Amino acid sequence: MSAPGRICLRAAMKCQKCERPATFHITELEGGKHTELHLCEEHARQYLTQGEGEPGAAPTIAGALAQQLAVGQTAEELARLDQRSCPVCGITFYEFRNQGRLGCPHDYVAFEKELEPLIANIHGETTHKGKKPKRGAGGTQQRTELIRMRREMKESIQQENYERAKELRDEIKRVEEAKE
Amino acid sequence: MNAPERNNVELNDLTNTTGEWLRGNGPQADIVMSTRIRLARNLAEFPFISRASDQDRADIEKLLRDRVLRIQEASGELLYVNVSDLDRLDRQFLVERQLISREHAEAQGARGVVIDSGERISLMINEEDHLRIQCMHSGLDVQGAWEQIDRIDDLISEQVNYAFHPRLGYLTACPTNVGTGVRVSVLMHLPALVLTRQLDKVFRSLQKISLAVRGLYGEGSQAMGDFYQISNQQTLGRSEKELVDQVTDVVPALIHYEREARDFLIKESQQTLHDQVSRAYGILRTAQTISSEETMHLLSKVRMGINLGLIADLPMLTLNELFIRTQPAHLQKISGVELNTADRNIERARFLRRYLNREEDGNGGKN
């Protein structure tokens, strides 16, 4: 019942099962051991969907991504998609696919179109039903601005743009205090 | 600040207790060990863990630690354990008690867990999500566990800003948890279904209604000692109540199948079964070296033997305690020294002999 750990796209390697180029590089993590697999699109699809008939297999990001491939996205389309990034945390879709984890709450907005089929695949639904938080249920969008500003501040310091970093620090402080 | 030392002292106290999930005194406890519910929550103003800087993680840890410790929870005094300060053995000890996950134990950077003295609740800070709230009740008590965790979640949500999307619900680092962020999970002991080879059939029917089956320590872990966790996969598009009800509705049927399989074994092959159970008990009481896996396997047989009245001289609580006390980190903490695998197996056998032969003679624990 092993779940494929990560998938990512790389170039110039042959598929382990045929002569075609390997466009999928899968790292299996099992019992702390890494096993690498290099497969073409077709064999990757076969490999990633093979566990689906198993009893009790939990849904995985890799499995859902493979399903997405199975319903018609080509490796080229995915490669284009991979370059898109979130304006708030900076994560690319490629990085998300690589690690199976999103970078910040805003990714659900930034990658809405890309995530929608994935979410539908995993849950069979796309709309939340159930409880809401006691406070701030609608304020997530504004608060993610803090994530972006902190990132920009860090980058400004790295670029030795201390003027901008100071502006951002004051702005962050102002937003944080207004929020309390 | 001497918080880490204080943590260690209080952690050592836990070696003498069983923990809620192994107490074995809730409804249907002969088959259902425990019920666990967890909620995945994140703060709106921080990146998810994979994208968080060291400073972010430290800020998240500080904020959540402060806010979570403000809540008043009926089931006991809250204790904060700074997981990043613990050594490998203590982290493994918390994993064995199901108070933190393996991922949390092995992660890097600022992180911690808030637990109550009754070990019914644990709140992991900086796991895969900023906050993982978990409630564990002995036996089958999905409703009770839900009511408790719902209350805790409400109390925390008055203190912090959860990341929430009007259409997608609670936002989580992995899209498999988005929506309610809830995982309802029931830990079942199903030795008779294993023996009668009916487990695959049962699991297949569970998968059709999108319930997952995992081993004792969650995702990817082996089904040790015939223990299986049944849990929901879907977290979006169904309310918490619907997800709770789904598990509540299906577990009685599984209990029924397991009881039928036990009746069948008693009726059709009582002598063989009695022999297997007695041999298992015999090995546990006399072995000179024994692995953790073999111990779990044999304890599982003995546990079924007690439930079927084939072993009369061993209380269930003692047996349940052995499931946890013979695990690697527990064994080392109890014996007070770090041991390699071979020495652990010798120490485990010694521990079992002392424990089980004491129960029989009633001579107060000295061998």
Q: What ipTM was estimated for this complex?
A: 0.86
Side chain identity at residue B217, one-letter code: Y
Q: Of B78-87, B200-209, B216-225, B226-235, which gets the smallest average pLDDT?
A: B216-225
* DSSP conformational letter for A59: P
Mean of pLDDT values over B104-131: 94
Which residues lie below 8 Å from residue B54, measured CB to CB, with a gap of 6+?
B109, B110
Residue of chain B minimizing CA distance to A111: B175
Give mean pLDDT, residues A173-177: 81
Which residues 221-240 of B have a C-beta within 8 angstroms of A? 233-240
* Type of residue found at A96: F
Phi/psi zone of residue B357: left (φ > 0), alpha (ψ -120 to 50 degrees), beta? alpha
Phi and psi at residue A55, to the nearest 5°: -65, 135
Residue (of B273, B251, B309, B285) closest to B194 by Cα position: B273
pLDDT 10s digits, B80-108: 999 999 999 999 999 999 999 999 999 99
pLDDT in tens, B310-337: 999 998 888 988 998 999 999 999 888 9
User: Strand order of the sheet with strand B32-41?
Assistant: B78-81, B112-116, B121-125, B131-138, B32-41, B182-189, B227-232, B211-214
Per-residue confidence (pLDDT) for residue A134, from 0 to 100: 81
Q: Give tens-digit pLDDT for A85-114.
A: 999 999 999 899 888 899 999 999 999 988
Q: With 50 as the cut, is the pLDDT of residue B38 above it? A: yes
Q: How far is A11 from chain B (nearest CA, A)?
A: 25
Helix (H, G, I), strand (E, B) or coil at B33: strand
Q: B233 and A127: CB-CB below 8 Å?
A: no
The sign of the CA dihedral A26, A28, A33, A35 is negative
pTM: 0.83
Residues 6+ apart with CB under 8 A from A85: A91, A92, A93, A110
Contacts A–B by Cβ distance under 8 A:
176
Higher per-residue pLDDT: B218 or B35? B35
Q: How far is A20 from chain B (nearest CA, A)?
A: 32
Q: Among positive and negative, which fits the CA dihedral B172, B175, B181, B187?
A: negative
CB contact under 8 A, B163 and A138: no
pLDDT at A71 over 90: no
pLDDT tens track for B54-83: 999 999 999 999 999 988 766 568 889 999
B327/B264 Cα distance (integer angstroms): 32
**What was the pLDDT predicted at B358?**
75
Question: C-alpha angle with apex B143: B124 to B296, nearest 5 degrees?
Answer: 60
**Band of pLDDT at residue B10, cut at 50, 70 and 90:** low
Q: How far apart are CA A35 and CA A29, in angstroms?
A: 7
